[in-house]
Every structure is written in C-alpha cells, then in structure tokens.
C-alpha cells in the first residue's frame, strides 16, 4: 500500500519514506503479535502439562491405593485362619489335662500339637503354663525344641495372661527364625492356667502375599516383610522401636541396634514419608 501526499519533485522520496515507516510499523505489530502468541502458547502448554501431571499423580495414587488395598486384603486373609488355631488348642482336653498335671509326661500333648501344626499349616504350636514355661510343643522331638524354654517376657504371653488374644513379631528364641506369634489364654475354673500359641514363619507369609514396592512393619515400626530384602529388620524413621532398651530389642529381634529405612519425608500427604 502506498500513500502519496504530493506530486512533483520529491514526491517519490516522500513515498519511499512513508513506505519504510509502514513496513517498520507492520513488522513491530507482527512481532508483538508473535510474542503474544508465543506467550499464550507457552501459558497454555504449561496449563496442559500441569493438568497432565496432576492427572498422572491422581491416577498413580488411585492405582497405588488399589494395590495397597489388595495387598492388605490378601495379607489379612492369609493370616485369618492362624488366629483361630490357638483357640482350638486352648479348648482341647489334652491341653487342660497336661496343665493340670505338671511334671507328668506330655507325650500326648506333643503329639497333638504336632498334628495341629501339620494339619493347620502353622510352623509351631506350643503350650505355656502360667509361669511362662513351655510344657509342650509341635517340635518336641527336634534339636531346637521349645519345651523347657521360658516365654514370660514375650508380649503374646503377657497379653494372654491379661485375658486377651496376643500377637507379636519376634525372632524365634531357639529356632532363630523370625515369625508372627498368635496366642490365646487358657483358663481353668475361672483362673489363668496357661497360654496356647502358634507361629507362622515370615518366609511362609511372604509366599502368600507379595506386592512390588510394598513392605509391612510390626507395631514398633520394624520392617518384617519387604520386597527389598535390604529393608528387613530395618526401622521406619521415628519408629517406637528406638524407645525400647537395647535388651528389649535384643530379646525381640536378636539385635541391639537397627538401621533406618531410607524413606523421604513428605508434606501434605496421607503418610509422613
């Protein structure tokens, strides 16, 4: 486009100057529009990427939540039957007869407990008297038999002595194999007479439930099941196991000190790490 303001000598020069001014103005306007479009594109791209990131995080959270729910369900289902086994042992007549006749031969009790361990698929079944002494066990004939061992310091024994079912993770006192112990009180004529206990080894629990990246701790925050074997018997940051004495840790875990699991603290999440 040309705008001619005069004719005669010099008119061509004026026209050229106005053409240059117009072109420069057009370029400036075009550059401004391009910058505006670039800014808008950058902003829209950022909004889209942020939306995509939030959507991916939400999807991952849902997926992890479903995996965790499934893991917990499988874990609880795999152990549900174990909790009922001590009740069966506690109400068996041979158990009451053996507790009522201390010092007598307990071959019948040992045979019964061996039968229970085999048929109920638990790794140990044993009976403890009111003082904490094991009087019968499913492994009575083995070199690491529990018969004659004292368990009055175990949490599952004290829970049963207080009239409630007990549960505890611990490393076996004679077997040195870690496992979950479940107990129930045995009462006679309204008085505490002893405790029925069963144990399932951790390795057998791991066979029943497994989830990549998942781990399970006991009540003290000590990892007892983990996809990463290096995490086993490590403790979550701030776990209450660090408030136990060295002797208490040694009794339960057969080690006085425990390392921490390498977790990163988070903010604004359901879990602190």
Interval 148-179: pLDDT, tens: 999 999 999 999 999 999 999 999 999 999 99
pLDDT band at 38 (very low <50, low <70, confident <90, very high): low
More confident position, 108 or 267: 108
178 within 8 A of 169, measured Cβ to Cβ: yes
More confident position, 59 or 174: 174
pLDDT band at 3 (very low <50, low <70, confident <90, very high): very low
235 within 8 A of 222, measured Cβ to Cβ: yes
Please compute the mean of the pLDDT values over residues 222-245 and round it to a whole number.
88
User: Which of 35-44, 109-118, 208-217 is the most confident on average?
Assistant: 109-118
More confident position, 52 or 241: 241
For the chain, give the mean pLDDT: 83
Judge whether residue 85 has pLDDT over 50. Answer: yes
- What region, left, alpha or beta, does residue 95 occupy, with left being phi > 0 and alpha being psi -120 to 50 degrees? alpha
CATH 3.30.450.20 placement within the chain: 83-203
116 within 8 A of 138, measured Cβ to Cβ: yes
pLDDT band at 31 (very low <50, low <70, confident <90, very high): low
Judge whether residue 4 has pLDDT over 90. Answer: no
Please compute the mean of the pLDDT values over residues 244-263 and round it to a whole number.
90
Judge whether residue 1 has pLDDT over 50. Answer: no
Torsion of CA 196, 159, 187, 114, to 10 degrees: 0
Contact partners, residue 229, CB within 8 Å, separation at least 6: none
| Percent above pLDDT 70 for the chain | 80
For residue 16, the model assigns a pLDDT of 59
Q: Which CATH number fits domain 83-203: 3.30.70.20, 3.30.2310.20, 3.30.450.20, 2.60.40.3140?
A: 3.30.450.20
**Per DSSP, which regions of 83-229 are E strands?**
124-129, 134-137, 166-171, 178-188, 191-201, 215-217, 223-226
What pTM value is reported for the model?
Answer: 0.72
pLDDT in tens, 220-229: 999 988 878 8
């Amino acid at each position: 486009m040309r705008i001619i303001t005069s004719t005669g000598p010099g008119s061509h020069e004026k026209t050229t100057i106005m053409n240059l001014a117009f072109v420069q103005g057009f370029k400036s306007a075009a550059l401004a529009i391009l910058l505006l479009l670039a800014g808008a594109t950058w902003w829209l791209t950022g909004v889209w990427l942020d939306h995509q990131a939030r959507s991916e995080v939400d999807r991952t959270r849902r997926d992890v939540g479903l995996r965790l729910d499934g893991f917990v369900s499988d874990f609880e289902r795999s152990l549900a039957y174990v909790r009922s086994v001590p009740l069966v042992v506690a109400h068996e007549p041979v158990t009451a007869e053996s507790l009522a006749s201390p010092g007598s031969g307990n071959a019948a009790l040992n045979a019964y407990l061996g039968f229970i361990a085999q048929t109920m698929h638990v790794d140990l079944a044993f009976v403890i008297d009111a003082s904490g002494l094991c009087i019968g066990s499913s492994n009575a004939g083995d070199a690491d038999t529990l018969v004659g061992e004292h368990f009055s310091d175990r949490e599952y024994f004290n829970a049963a002595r207080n009239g409630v079912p007990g549960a505890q993770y611990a490393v076996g006192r004679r077997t040195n194999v870690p496992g979950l112990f479940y107990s129930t009180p045995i009462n006679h004529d309204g008085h505490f007479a002893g405790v029925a206990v069963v144990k399932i080894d951790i390795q057998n629990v791991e066979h029943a439930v497994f989830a990549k990246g998942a781990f399970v701790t006991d009540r003290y925050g000590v990892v007892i099941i983990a996809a990463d074997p290096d995490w086993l018997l490590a403790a979550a940051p701030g776990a209450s196991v660090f408030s136990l004495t060295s002797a208490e840790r040694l009794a339960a875990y057969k080690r006085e000190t425990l390392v921490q699991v390498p977790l990163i603290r988070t903010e604004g999440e359901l879990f602190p790490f």
